[in-house]
Amino acid sequence: MTRRIGILLYPDFQLLDAAGPITAFEIAGRMAGDAYALTLLSRDGGAIRSSAGIVLDTMSVQDAGPLDTLIVVGGDGSRNAMHCPDLRAFLRARTNDTRRLCSVCSGAFLLAVASLLDGRRATTHWQRAEEFIRLFPHVRVDPDAIHIQDGAVWTSAGISAGIDLALALIGDDLGDALSRRVAQQMVVFHRRPGGQSQFSALLEMGGGEGRFTELLGWIRSHLHNRLTVETLADRMAMSPRNFTRTFRLSVGMSPAKAVERLRLEAARERVEHSDTPIEAIAANAGFHNPERMRRAFLRAFGQPPQAMRRNASAM
């Protein structure tokens, strides 16, 4: 059985959003005897230019024919494409005869504007998650997920997450064993550990005017300390209540969540790139005991520290 995969493009699409899944399905198809046939689609067909300037040839959506799976890519051009009535109509029509509707990165905006994500869990690129939540309040957004399946609709995070999505779709079709072989051939994680939280960008996101940048740097250097709201507010010469409110507005999360993310960033780096005992890492990062750190890792990454260490060693 050959499954026909349609990949929907538009001007200024992100090339890797398309190329990543294409490569995964190509390899799976070779391994499983023509399991997939790939079709590039656009509104009118013809040459479609990516944001990188690379041009791909496409078929008109009107000539698409039967599809097993439709994947909408993301990119800078998604802001214009989401307002195209022809594309919205095409996506809505495909809900009746396509087994799976999927998006990569900001391709989720096209699914959402066509009302295909209402009431569903979904994800998109972390950098556009706030905009997405504002525009589509009826969608239950998880900005940290790499990919999410909600019924027949699959959404994935930014850019390279299209590969993760494709591997999950291949696993759904042909089994985990073959999906794992494809990942090995591509030299990528079969299931990427963790979410798309940009811990290393936390300092950069310390507020529109960088009001809390210095404080976040100080926290990062004192993770082993007891970092209460009162301690942090005192350092900023603010009342705890005013500090908490202003910090949340500026950084986008509570002080406690920011401290935990910085602790997770520091702990994950040492878990994956050192032989330091887990107990010592937990103490140095301010978790104080391994069980507390284990629970935090499960919430943030979906895996305990020991499993993340094993995965890092295997790569």
Model confidence pLDDT, tens digit, residues 203-241: 444 544 467 878 887 888 899 999 999 999 999 999 999
Q: Which residue's structure tokens are 């100080």? A: 218
How far is it, in rounded angstroms, from Cα 210 to Cα 217? 11
Residue 288 pLDDT class (50, 70, 90 cuts): confident
In this prediction, residue 195 carries a pLDDT of 56
Q: Which of 184, 194, 121, 114 is nearest to 161 (CA)?
A: 194
In this prediction, residue 196 carries a pLDDT of 57
Sign, Cα dihedral of 168, 169, 173, 177: negative
Render pLDDT for 61-105 as a digit per residue (tens, 0 to 9).
999 999 999 999 999 999 999 999 999 999 999 998 999 999 999
pTM confidence score: 0.68
In this prediction, residue 202 carries a pLDDT of 53
Phi, psi of 85 (to 5 degrees): -65, -30
How far is it, in rounded angstroms, from Cα 101 to Cα 122? 12
Distance of alpha carbon 65 from the chain centroid:
30
Q: Which of 102, 75, 57, 69 is nearest to 15 (CA)?
A: 75
Phi, psi of 96 (to 5 degrees): -85, -25
Buried b (16+ CB within 10 A) or exposed e, 178-203: bbebbbeebebbbbbbbbbbbbeebb
In this prediction, residue 300 carries a pLDDT of 81
Percent of the chain with pLDDT over 70: 93
- The three-class DSSP label of residue 227 is coil
Please state, rounded to an integer, the average pLDDT across all residues of the chain. Answer: 90
Cβ distance 106 to 131 under 8 Å?
Answer: no
